[in-house]
Structure 1
């Protein structure tokens, strides 16, 4: 008899811990499938726009975090910590390429619309493309042309996803959350914050 595990992960495209959390989640799913191949896993990606006040053209990335963290020393320390966590999870974050803090409203709408059009693998591919494009190359996810380029590369047509591009002035009405990433497993909230793959695996076992 097939068992089912429905996983929901809340995230924002500009949160490095969400990329790290996604990598750890993928690892945990692979571990679960290795020990319990009868389990059918479904994933839902729940967008959370953390910074709806960011203008359409975005904000300078370095200055944004410099003000938030209070100085160059604190910024360097935070980036080193995040980079180390990313490398441990198998992710890459290239802070030197991050020049813009984008408004993510359209990026979230794009993925939400794509989830209802393609199959799960295609939607997963778009999520991966957008996250790695931002954190590895510094792609500006607030630009329509950038979002469409990612969508087309993942097999979607511009006509399919054009309705998602409504502009930064319209905030994304996504999942309310106190923090991201957060996870629910078969409807059970296991809290927010990137979790190590073994911790996520334990939570998956409990949910089953």
Structure 2
């Protein structure tokens, strides 16, 4: 049996970065003739974010009431990240970006290893290096680093390329009931929400891959 994971994420979501690490660890336990496929899909946590983003402290003030209220949560995430090999550097974040162009870039890259490398670069540059992943020059540089060809980068630099597709896909996901991230849709049928630990994901993968069409109980357990 094969496994396809449609991963819904936003690149400013720390739990999505943690979830990617756990997902990849879980996928190493999958055995079979076919390699599992992972496809990345767009979801903006802040669809009304200004095009140029917002200062991080201003964002924390508006969203959470200030840095002092959210700092314990950031400290906890830093500890959790260390266990996953992720060096969260929230102290280096100066801006929260609008991630629409990052999602456009992922859409233009298309599914496959190159797309996955680009997702890694977006997460690591934002969370571990404090980079503004809403900046188109940085996004173009990351695209080159990931291995996108000149034609694909040229399409990305045309500001409307991929825009309609990203908006339509996110609209479809919201209509399907996706309201938060990370969210994983397995083999187009079963949904797993949240940054589940790797062992839990392995158990779910086993259920999904060997589920029969006559066993709807698995779907209800996964939702």
Q: Post-superposition shift, 1:82?
A: 1.6
Is the contact made by 1:190 and 1:203 (CA closer than 8 Å) also made in structure 2? no
Equivalent residue, structure 1, for 2:58: 63
**Structure 1: 4+ residue segments shifted above 6 A:** none
Equivalent residue, structure 2, for 1:126: 118
Larger RCO (CA under 8 A, 6+ residues apart): 1
Is the contact made by 1:17 and 1:194 (CA closer than 8 Å) also made in structure 2? yes
2:94 counterpart of 1:93 = no
- Over the aligned positions, Cα root-mean-square deviation in angstroms equals 1.8
Aligned length: 198
Q: Post-superposition shift, 1:8?
A: 1.0
1:56-112 CA-partner distances (Å, limit 9, x unpaired): 221011221133222343211110122122222222211011111001111101111
Equivalent residue, structure 2, for 1:104: 99
Is the contact made by 1:122 and 1:154 (CA closer than 8 Å) also made in structure 2? yes
Pairing 1:64-83 to 2, within 5 Å after superposition: 64-83=59-78
Q: Post-superposition shift, 1:47?
A: 1.1
Name the CA distance, whole Å, in 1 between partners of 2:40 and 2:193: 14
- The secondary structure found in structure 2 opposite 1:78 is helix
Query: Normalising to structure 2: TM-score of the pair?
Result: 0.82
- The secondary structure found in structure 2 opposite 1:13 is coil
Equivalent residue, structure 1, for 2:47: 52
Equivalent residue, structure 2, for 1:140: 132
- Runs of 5+ in structure 1 lacking a partner? none
Q: Which moved more, 1:11-20 or 1:50-59?
A: 50-59
